[in-house]
Amino acid sequence: MLKQTEQTTYSLVGETYPLTFLQKKYDISLEEAQSFRALARIYTRGSTIIREGETDKTLYLIRGGSVGVFKHVGDEEQFLATIEAVNFVGEMSYIIDTPRSASVVALSEIVLVYAITTPNFSIILSNPTWADILIKRFCKNLYQANNNLVAANIKIQQLSTELDALKHALQPVDV
C-alpha cells in the first residue's frame, strides 16, 4: 500500500516511486497527480487489492497497470478476467451493499489505483470521463453475465438431452 513520504514521491514499503516516473508511465497530468495524491495506492505484482468476502465499500479506479479477478469455487480459486487501466473495480459492493464477490490481484509489476473510500456516485457520475468508464464497466459486466447465462442454458439443454437418451437406452425392451 502507498505511504506518502514527500510531495515528489509515492512510496511503497522499501521502494520509492518519483511522481514524475508515475506521470510518465501512466500519462498522468501534474494536476491529476496532485488532485488524487491522497487517494493513490501502489500495488506490486501479486498483491491483493480486494479480497473476496470482505465488507468494505472502497471503490477503486485502476489508473495504471492491470489486475486479475479471481473467485473461489469450492476449494479452488478460478481466474475470471483481466481488467486494464483505466477502469473501476469494487463497484458492486458499494452499490448493492454486499461482501466482495471476488478478489482483485495486481498483475502488472506496478499497479496504481485511486482508492475512493467514501464513494459518492453523484460526484463520480458528474465527471463525464468517470461516468463513461463506470457505465462501460457495468455494460461489460452485464454483457459477460448474459453470455455466461446463455452458455449455462445451452449446457443444461445438452445435458438434459443426454439424460433423456440415457433414460431411453435403459428402459426395458418389450418382447
pLDDT of residue 49: 94
Q: Do 124 and 130 touch, CB atoms closer than 8 A? A: yes
Q: What pLDDT was estimated at residue 115? A: 87
The per-residue pLDDT for 5 is: 41
> Is the Cα dihedral 30, 35, 36, 37 positive or negative?
positive
d(CA 61, CA 115): 7
**Pair 62, 86: CB distance under 8 Å:** yes
Give the pLDDT confidence score for residue 71 in this predicted structure: 92
Q: Which residues of the chain have pLDDT under 50?
A: 1-8, 11-14
Q: What is the pLDDT of residue 172?
A: 80
90-113 burial, b at 16+ Cβ within 10 Å, e below that, comes to bbebbeeeeebebbbbbbbebbbb
pTM (whole model) above 0.75: no
- In this predicted structure, what is the pLDDT of residue 103? 95
| pLDDT score for 82 | 92
